[in-house]
Structure 1
Amino acid sequence: MPEIKPPLTDLPIKTATSGFYNGFSLDVTVTSKLAVGGLVLWAVAFPAQAGAVLSGLNTFILANFAAWYIYVMAAFVLVCIALAIWPTAGRLKMGGPDDVPEFSNFSWFSMMFGAGIGVGMLTWAVAEPIYHFNNNPEVIQGLATARGEDNFLNAYQWSYLHWGFSAWSSYAIAGLALGYFTYRRGLPLTIRSSLTPLFGKALSGPLGHVIDIVAVIATILGVAQTLGFGVEQFVAGMSRIGIGDWLLNDEGTASTVGILFAIFIIMGASTLSALSGVGKGIKWLSNINMGLSIFLLAFLMIFGATWFGIQALFLGMWEYVISLPAMIFTVYRGDGGEVSQALENWQGAWTVFYWAWWVAFAPFVGLFLARISKGRTIREFVLGAVFVPAVMCFVWFSFAGGTAIELELSGVAEGQIFGATDGDKIFAMTGIMLGETLGWIMAVIIVILLMTYLVTSADSAVLIVNTINAAGDEGPKARPHIIFWGVALGLVVAALLLVGGLTAIQTAMVIGALPFSLVMVLMCLGLFKAIYNDGIREKNGVPSIYPAAADPAE
């Protein structure tokens, strides 16, 4: 019988010991800054070329990697199911045998939901069901009627696909991989640690640096996507409450001045919040955020289309669950026919885009989930991090989107919600429901809620990027580095919006997520190998838990 070796518990990562980059990995930090700075300068200095190149790359990726994104996300769902039902995996803790969860279940669920969803709810809980009510694969294939009652559940089936178990499975894998190796092995809280079963000590060098750099760039582009949607919606809201028509252009979308105005406010507030730290600014904003979210959801449940929303929730979830195997594995390929090409275009614009977005968001959300989940078993973590937040998304979509659909079906909205931009749809809906004066008050509340979501997303991203740059150490958060990433994030959003609008951000994010999707596949393999080996170690009395490993900064 071969000797059973203990796991790797020491992964030294070289960091600067003095000067401006004290506590940070020079290789990761400087390279990440150059890459993000280069993207901004390129977009600003050569906007036409940048727009054309991004468009060409988007076409190339959709033609060649759409299937990869579809199958990778399907694999993540299967991996989470396997980890939950695998007896050896299910009982292992993210931590030592005496570690207990730091947060109650309610607090844990609330923080997971806020980290993973945030601003997306305010834009897409109304906009996406409305869009799919008008067009989706069943409509394209002639199996349902656009804007017809027979298309109602299809709208929810596809909305739930994009915001349900697939999205949260990708977050859960990133969070579990980070938490498992940090709290069972004492390894640094950074992306490279999750690949130690595959590459071992080699991750201390260039290979590990590349993995962390890929994670930083994916995070910046993923959060930039969220902020891009948020900027459009923030400008629409500011215009609704009477700040000024100068915020909008002739097409009703954010003008150049409006974009710069919104980014200045959002990134200024988020940078100040990040400088104050998690215990002050982020916690204070999160409390406001949760209170306003509960108020808005309660308003929609009570005064919106309540019965319609209940049907959307339960019938939509049933349709989603029974259709899930087919939906997550189907790749639409154009064969020259009009219908097949329309299906491929639809999937590229929606499903592939979302899968790239969630992959890009995974290092950000995953690292946060790991930080708040120490002491929980793998089964508890997987079920809690996938099922509960997904159901909360379904509740938001059913009552917000259901109210909008019901207003259009009944003729009350008279096409106003259909005709509004994506970011403006929630303002159009509440305006129709409440009238001019009360609608204005609700618009103010939504703008404040949107602002808190945007600021908490941006400042959390800045702190997490700095954690990765500092080799997993949450200590050295020097003010200049926080300010740099706050400014850089704002500039990425502004530059890409001005070059090609949300499409340019979407394209950059799809490109940036591609290499990290490979890292996530390796995370899955590393997890399975580590859990299998830990099971063998337990049976043979070989320790597998080393929470007090060497300081990664040494």
Structure 2
Amino acid sequence: MEKIKPPLSDLPIKTADKGFYNGFSLDVTVTSKLAVGGLVLWAVAFPEQAGGVLGGLNTFILANFASWYIYVMAFFVIVCLALAAWPAAGKLRLGHDDERPEFDNFSWFSMMFGAGIGVGMLTWAVAEPIYHFRNNPEVIQGLADGESMNNFMNAYKYSYLHWGFSAWSSYAIAGLALGYFTYRRGLPLTIRSSLTPLFGKALSGPLGHLVDIVAVIATILGVAQTLGFGVEQFVAGMSKIGIGDWLVTEEGNASSAGIVVALVVIMGASTLSALSGVGKGIKWLSNINMALSIFLLAFLMIFGSTWFGMQALFMGMIDYIIALPKMLFTVYRPDGSETGDALSGWQGAWTVFYWAWWVAFAPFVGLFLARISRGRTIREFVLGAMIVPSIMCFVWFSFAGGTAIDMELSGIANGEIFASTDGAKIFTMTGIMLGDVLGWCMAVIIVILLMTYLVTSADSAVLIVNTINAAGDEGPKARPHIIFWGVTLGVVVGALLLVGGLTAIQTAMVIGALPFSVVMLLMCFGLFKAIYRDGLRARHGVPSVTVEMPPAE
């Protein structure tokens, strides 16, 4: 009979012990900087070539890996539900068995929501339901009519699909894997630790370095996508409140000068916040944007299309949950017919794009979730991280998007919301609702809220990248490295926006997410193996928790 051994609790990662990179893994840090820096230089020096190559790679990935993204995200949802339902897993804590959570539930949900998905809410809570109200797979197949009431619930079914359980299950898996192996095993808080049940001490060497490099690149590109949307909307907001017409082009998109100014403001503020750490700057900003979010949401619930929004929320959630199993596994393949090609194009532009975005975002949000979730049980963590933020997203989409759809259906908006750019839709909607003076005041509040979301996402990303580069060390990082990644993130967003707009960022992100999706699949198998083995250890009296209780404050 096989002897049950204690779990691996030591994964040495070589770091520099002096000089500029003191405390950092040279292999991971330098390679990541060269890869990201090379992308920026290439995009700036050879914009046409970069655009062409990225576009070709994007076409190849959508043609050959669309089904991979669909099925792997469906698998993540199943894994989360299985972990929550598995009795042996659900009661285990991310930490010592006697530990309790560091943050109260309000702060936990605030930080989780703000870092994970907050920026997207302000752009897409209005823009996406409006888009799907005009076109979605049911409209393409002739089962519903665009811009009519028989398509209203379809708009929400697909909006909820993209921002609901699938997105948060990918974050929950990354966060759970990191929290489990760091706070129960005492392994470094870095991506490679989550694969130790599969590869053991081999992760101390080149294999582990590769895993962490893939995670850093995915994080930078995933956050760049979020900041790209945010910068476009931030510029639209500053233009609405009268900062200057030079911020936008005649078509309503952000001008080059507007992009540069927005990035300087956002990345300057986020770098200062990152220098202050999670406990101070990020927690403080998260609570501010949660309070402003509640204010804006309350305004939309009370003064927007309340009944319409309630229908969208409750009926939309029922439709979404009933249709979810089918939607999770449906892959539309181009077949040469007009309908088949249109369905495949829609899925590539929406669902596959979102799945790649959430995967690219997962190392960042997952590592952040792990840091703020120590002491919680697996069941509490999985259900809390998967269901509560999803419902918050549904509420946002139902009242923000529902109000916009109702205003267009009733003729109040007269096509103005449809005609606005994605980032400007929320400003157009609130402007029509409130008139010039109050609309201006609301635009200022939305710009401040957007600023706090962008800063929270960017400064969290900088700290997360530095934690991975420093072999999981959560302690204070050398200021030059925080400043470097703050500037680099801004330059990546600026370079890709100026070269090819949001499409260039989207393409780079879809490509960067692909290798990390494989890492996440391995994380799932690693978790199941570790939890199963810990159950065997418990039955044989072999300790599976190798960390001490943290000292009481």
Q: Quick check: TM above 0.5?
A: yes
Offset at 1:96? 1.3
Offset at 1:476? 4.2
Counterpart-to-counterpart distance in 2, 1:93 and 1:476: 26
Secondary structure of 1:132's counterpart equals helix
Counterpart-to-counterpart distance in 1, 2:53 and 2:417: 34
Counterpart-to-counterpart distance in 1, 2:439 and 2:183: 49
Secondary structure of 1:518's counterpart equals helix
Offset at 1:283? 2.8
- Alignment-derived partner of residue 63 in structure 1: 63
Contact 2:111-2:287 at 8 Å conserved across structures: no
- Alignment-derived partner of residue 254 in structure 1: 254
- Alignment-derived partner of residue 40 in structure 2: 40
Identity of aligned residues (%): 83
Contact 1:12-1:204 at 8 Å conserved across structures: yes
Offset at 1:359? 0.3
2:110 is the counterpart of 1:93: no
- Alignment-derived partner of residue 288 in structure 2: 288
Offset at 1:116? 1.0
Counterpart-to-counterpart distance in 2, 1:440 and 1:542: 64
Secondary structure of 1:111's counterpart equals helix
- Alignment-derived partner of residue 552 in structure 1: none
Offset at 1:499? 1.1
What do the CA deviations read for 1:363-401 (whole angstroms, capped 9, x no partner)?
A: 111011111111111111111110111001100000000
The list of structure 1 runs, each at least 4 consecutive aligned residues, that deviate by more than 3 angstroms after superposition, is none
2:151 is the counterpart of 1:151: yes
Offset at 1:290? 1.6
- Alignment-derived partner of residue 308 in structure 2: 308
Counterpart-to-counterpart distance in 2, 1:228 and 1:140: 29
The one-letter code sitting in structure 2 at the alignment partner of 1:50 is A
The one-letter code sitting in structure 2 at the alignment partner of 1:77 is V
Secondary structure of 2:142's counterpart equals coil
What do the CA deviations read for 1:297-321 (whole angstroms, capped 9, x no partner)?
A: 1100100000110000000000000
- Alignment-derived partner of residue 492 in structure 2: 492
- Alignment-derived partner of residue 482 in structure 1: 482
- Alignment-derived partner of residue 216 in structure 1: 216
Offset at 1:285? 2.0
Offset at 1:475? 1.4
Offset at 1:525? 0.4
Counterpart-to-counterpart distance in 1, 2:87 and 2:290: 36
Counterpart-to-counterpart distance in 1, 2:337 and 2:37: 42
Counterpart-to-counterpart distance in 2, 1:86 and 1:288: 37
Secondary structure of 1:113's counterpart equals helix
1:82/1:275 Cα in 2 relative to 1: closer, same or farther (>3 Å)? same
Structure 1: runs of 5+ lacking an equivalent: 550-554
What do the CA deviations read for 1:434-490 (whole angstroms, capped 9, x no partner)?
A: 011110110111011111111111011001100000000011411100110011000
Contact 2:114-2:456 at 8 Å conserved across structures: no
Superposed, 1:296-335 pairs within 5 Å as 296-335=296-335
- Alignment-derived partner of residue 200 in structure 1: 200
- Alignment-derived partner of residue 444 in structure 2: 444
Contact 1:101-1:375 at 8 Å conserved across structures: yes
Contact 1:407-1:413 at 8 Å conserved across structures: yes
The one-letter code sitting in structure 2 at the alignment partner of 1:368 is F
- Alignment-derived partner of residue 171 in structure 1: 171
Counterpart-to-counterpart distance in 2, 1:47 and 1:78: 41
- Alignment-derived partner of residue 456 in structure 1: 456
Counterpart-to-counterpart distance in 2, 1:221 and 1:488: 11
Counterpart-to-counterpart distance in 1, 2:42 and 2:370: 35
Counterpart-to-counterpart distance in 2, 1:305 and 1:527: 44
Counterpart-to-counterpart distance in 2, 1:279 and 1:10: 27
Contact 2:107-2:287 at 8 Å conserved across structures: no
Contact 1:176-1:370 at 8 Å conserved across structures: yes
What do the CA deviations read for 1:229-266 (whole angstroms, capped 9, x no partner)?
A: 00100111111111111111121101111111111111
Offset at 1:9? 0.5
Counterpart-to-counterpart distance in 2, 1:55 and 1:111: 35
Counterpart-to-counterpart distance in 1, 2:243 and 2:376: 47
Cα RMSD (Å) of the superposition? 1.0
Counterpart-to-counterpart distance in 1, 2:196 and 2:506: 32
The one-letter code sitting in structure 1 at the alignment partner of 2:113 is F
The one-letter code sitting in structure 2 at the alignment partner of 1:315 is M
Contact 2:107-2:283 at 8 Å conserved across structures: no
What TM-score do you get using the length of structure 1 for normalisation? 0.98
Contact 2:188-2:472 at 8 Å conserved across structures: yes
Counterpart-to-counterpart distance in 1, 2:229 and 2:179: 30
- Alignment-derived partner of residue 272 in structure 2: 272
Q: Which moved more, 1:293-302 or 1:108-117?
A: 108-117
Counterpart-to-counterpart distance in 2, 1:446 and 1:474: 33
Counterpart-to-counterpart distance in 2, 1:91 and 1:274: 34
Counterpart-to-counterpart distance in 2, 1:455 and 1:108: 18
- Alignment-derived partner of residue 50 in structure 1: 50
Counterpart-to-counterpart distance in 1, 2:231 and 2:503: 14
Offset at 1:186? 0.5
Q: Which moved more, 1:79-88 or 1:519-528?
A: 79-88
Contact 1:470-1:476 at 8 Å conserved across structures: no
Contact 2:110-2:287 at 8 Å conserved across structures: no
The one-letter code sitting in structure 1 at the alignment partner of 2:156 is Y
The one-letter code sitting in structure 1 at the alignment partner of 2:46 is F
Counterpart-to-counterpart distance in 2, 1:303 and 1:277: 38
Counterpart-to-counterpart distance in 2, 1:449 and 1:108: 19
Q: Which moved more, 1:259-268 or 1:119-128?
A: 259-268
- Alignment-derived partner of residue 15 in structure 2: 15
Offset at 1:548? 4.5
The one-letter code sitting in structure 1 at the alignment partner of 2:269 is A
Counterpart-to-counterpart distance in 2, 1:31 and 1:403: 48
- Alignment-derived partner of residue 127 in structure 2: 127
Offset at 1:177? 0.2
Counterpart-to-counterpart distance in 2, 1:247 and 1:19: 42
Secondary structure of 1:65's counterpart equals helix
The one-letter code sitting in structure 2 at the alignment partner of 1:261 is V
Offset at 1:279? 3.3
Counterpart-to-counterpart distance in 2, 1:279 and 1:518: 32
Secondary structure of 2:126's counterpart equals helix
The one-letter code sitting in structure 2 at the alignment partner of 1:20 is F
- Alignment-derived partner of residue 78 in structure 2: 78
What TM-score do you get using the length of structure 2 for normalisation? 0.98
Secondary structure of 1:460's counterpart equals helix
Counterpart-to-counterpart distance in 2, 1:41 and 1:187: 36
- Alignment-derived partner of residue 409 in structure 2: 409
Contact 1:334-1:340 at 8 Å conserved across structures: yes
Contact 2:6-2:542 at 8 Å conserved across structures: yes
Offset at 1:202? 0.2
Counterpart-to-counterpart distance in 1, 2:479 and 2:111: 25
Secondary structure of 1:103's counterpart equals coil
